[in-house]
Amino acid sequence: MEKNEILVTYGKDIAAMAIRLAEEANLAELIGDSDKRIGLKPNLVVARPAPEGATTHPEIAAGLIAYLKKNNFHNLVLIEGAWAGASTAEAFTVCGYRKLARETGVELIDTKDDKTRSCDCKGMKIDICESALAIDFMINLPVMKGHCQTLLTCALKNNKGIIPDREKRRFHSLGLTKPIAHLNTVARNDFIVVDGICGDLDFEEGGNPVYAGRMFAARDPVLCDAWAAAQMGYSISDIPYIGLAEKLGVGSADLRSAKVRELKSGISMADGITDGMADGMADGAAMGSIPGGKVRQLAAYIAEDKACSACYASLIFALSHLSRSELGRLKEKVCVGQGFRGRQGGIGVGQCTAGFTASCPGCPPSGADILAFLKSQI
Ligand code: SF4
């Protein structure tokens, strides 16, 4: 897998999706020496199960552990520290990681129990947990979700889990942007698998999951977060730590040079559609993801007919950026879904609504593209 690639997959079998991404990226070759100590770093910010939109699905780690063991990598650890004041031990239990560790024999490391070392992060001193610094190859497993201050949390911000609580508090006192960017000049991001199954719309602690059934892999955390921002309807300038991390040499935010490759998962139902995408958005409930009140309110502006999960999620993200008065100026409900193929109508998103008077192209379109389109219709 190249540094400028993003591999995307959709579906319901979360562990299988993670394995597919690892295989497609040729993760074993990226790691190299089988003696390396490999860390898997989920986001367990709070003790809430993954379907609530805050934490990484343990099936992703389970799939990757199975892949790694099959490829003779046995020096594996699961490493995380919950947000300041919360118990990682409780999160390990509630989020399914204690069970996973027991079943696989992989060590669980709570960074809150760790010693720290002061590191020079390109001009900013940051205390980092020693167990993280001892990792040879770090697999970052963030959730793509909203954040009340930084708007987005994904790969770069997920590394806050490898610093002690006192540093987490200092990060907040410094406004997050600068320290997050500097932290990632030292924190490892050797491979990233993003949990985009049902990340929260607004808050890192969950409660408003938006079911998208998506997972993607990257090697560049800056590019990864830039792409995630676009899916959630943001421009890179909305999330200043992405640009700052780029300036510090952490990676590239140039989406124009990114190679985004969508993995087909077997029988394609139509050009550009994977099985997983075609599974349909309504299945969010089947995955245990229960949309919160805000998502349900936004859904009132949508007419959906057999919409793929990712397309529907992009539309929800885009609608969430409109003010109440902008929402009120939408002339009609916005149509999305395969059921609109070949039909005529007013406002629609995705190639399935190409026959509409106004249609946002893409399959699925990004949240940013839909947002620009909706603003042009108001
Ligand atoms: S345009 Fe949207 S609903 Fe239609 S096939 Fe593509 S992703 Fe699915």
Q: Report the nearest-CA residue for atom 1 of ligand 1.
A: 350
Exposed/middle/buried for residue 337 (C-beta within 10 Å: 0-12, 13-18, 19+): buried
* Centre of ligand 1 from the C-alpha of residue 267, in Å: 16
- AA identity, residue 25: A
Ligand 1 mutation target, pool 315, 356, 363, most atoms within 8 A of CB = 363
Give the ligand 1 atom nearest the CA of 306: 3
Residue with tokens 């594996």: 76
Comparing CA positions, the residue from 29, 14, 59 lying closest to residue 213 is: 14
Atom of ligand 1 nearest to the CA of 341: 4
- Check: CB of residue 142 under 8 Å from CB of residue 227: no
Strand partners, 218: 6, 192
The residues pairing with 359 across neighbouring beta strands, listed in sequence order, are 348
Is ligand 1 within 6 A of the CB of residue 363? yes
- Does the Cβ of 337 fall within 6 Å of ligand 1? yes
Closest CA to 56 of 77, 41, 75: 41
pLDDT top residue among 310 and 134: 134
* Atom 3 (ligand 1) nearest CA: 337
Average pLDDT, the chain: 92
Q: How far apart are CA 319 and CA 316, in angstroms?
A: 5
What would the pLDDT profile of 358-367 be if each residue is shown by its tens digit? 999 999 999 9
CB 292, CB 320: distance < 8 Å: no
In the prediction, which pLDDT does 289 show? 58
Report d(CA 363, CA 311) in Å as an integer. 7
Atom of ligand 1 nearest to the CA of 350: 1
Direct distance between the N- and C-terminal alpha carbons of the chain, in angstroms, rounded to an integer: 41
pLDDT at 148: 86
C-beta of 277 in contact with ligand 1 (< 6 A): yes
pLDDT at 57 over 80: yes
pLDDT at 274: 47
Residue-by-residue DSSP string for 141-189: E-B-EEETTTEEESHHHHGGGGS-HHHHHHHHHTTSHHHHHHHTTTS--
pTM over 0.85: yes
**Does the CA dihedral 372-205-293-353 come out positive or negative?**
positive
CA of 308 to the centre of ligand 1 (A): 6
7 lines ligand 1 (CB under 6 A): no
**CB of 351 sitting under 6 A from ligand 1:** yes
What does the pLDDT read at residue 269? 35
Confidence of residue 290 (pLDDT cuts 50, 70, 90): low
pLDDT, tens only, 176-198: 999 999 999 999 999 999 999 99
pLDDT, greater one: 26 or 276: 26
Distance 145 CA to ligand 1 centre (A): 22
Q: Ligand 1 centroid to 266 CA: how many Å? A: 17
Distance 321 CA to ligand 1 centre (A): 21
Is 82's C-beta closer than 6 angstroms to any atom of ligand 1?
A: no
- The DSSP element (H or E) to which 334 belongs, if any, is strand 334-336
Task: Report DSSP state, residue 246.
Answer: H
Q: Which of 308, 315, 341, 369 should be mutated for ligand 1, with most atoms under 8 A from CB?
A: 308
